[in-house]
Homo-oligomer: A and B are copies of this chain.
């Protein structure tokens, strides 16, 4: 398996990217890498070139670049060149820590949508208290608008992922809604509920609400990209504010609190690890012709490593073929 890596995206590129790639290369003998980026910088960090091909690129898509414009105009960028390699079947999968919007555009317009998939969706894995491997949440922002058939396709793809890649026997699929009863939400959600109930290939458990997500109310949660984006950010923002409040409270309430914090440190670290989603991998762009994974710009080498493990699993389990087969057999709407 060959993975095309955009080494120039993210806050600590290309150092952390190279480190993560080398760890994956050393561990899995079936992996080869095409490294797109500034040749001098890559070589500065690369310890050896076994199963590595460095492909020099001339520009970088920045976090502040307008996504569509960036992929059209920066054709010699590490991200666009890496996506082109996948399109031309020189590589089997794409990995980047760069501009999310640009990666979505590169995935959809360069690599291309899978036949029969109306709209690809972005799917991260988030922690759930009762879940060993977290839950999958899609769409979190690849699409600003949603239709019933998009939601259904996302539910099916999310369920296939949870089954094949995460190894869940019968993943529970929930529809994010503003109440648990079948008739909750607007027309879109009421219709989606009805349609999801009819699909025998998924274990649809009905509507789920946003306050139950982190408790592990479902293994796959389907929502429109607007709500999904807002809920994802609300969770991230809440965790961040609470952790910073916690830190502030322990460090600014006198020596007693400080000693307490010192004694409780290992226990407090265990909370952090609960919310450490690095081992779950990155966000998958579901519905394009090859596995594409995006990790946070702030990722470290460990996060990069796990995202590559995730891409390898998606490839080895043939998840995309399963999606293709399923949708080939469906009447198209």
Contact of A226 among B227, B232, B235, B237 (CB under 8 A): B227
| A321 CB–B CB distance under 8 Å | no
Contact A270 B249 (CB under 8 A): yes
- Give the size of the chain A interface in residues (CB under 8 angstroms): 56
| A129 CB–B CB distance under 8 Å | yes
A296 CB to closest chain B CB, in angstroms?
13
- A189–B144 alpha-carbon span in the complex (Å): 10
Q: 8 Å CB contacts to B: which residues of A1-18?
A: none
Contact of A270 among B233, B239, B253 (CB under 8 A): B253
A310 CB to closest chain B CB, in angstroms?
24
Closest 5 CB pairs of A and B: A260-B263, A260-B264, A211-B237, A238-B238, A253-B267
Q: 8 Å CB contacts to B: which residues of A40-70?
A: none
For residue A252, which residues in chain B have a CB less than 8 angstroms away from its CB? 267
Interchain residue pairs with CB less than 8 A apart (20)? A144-B186, A176-B230, A210-B231, A211-B234, A213-B234, A223-B230, A230-B231, A230-B234, A231-B231, A238-B242, A246-B268, A249-B267, A250-B267, A250-B268, A253-B266, A256-B266, A257-B263, A260-B261, A260-B264, A260-B267
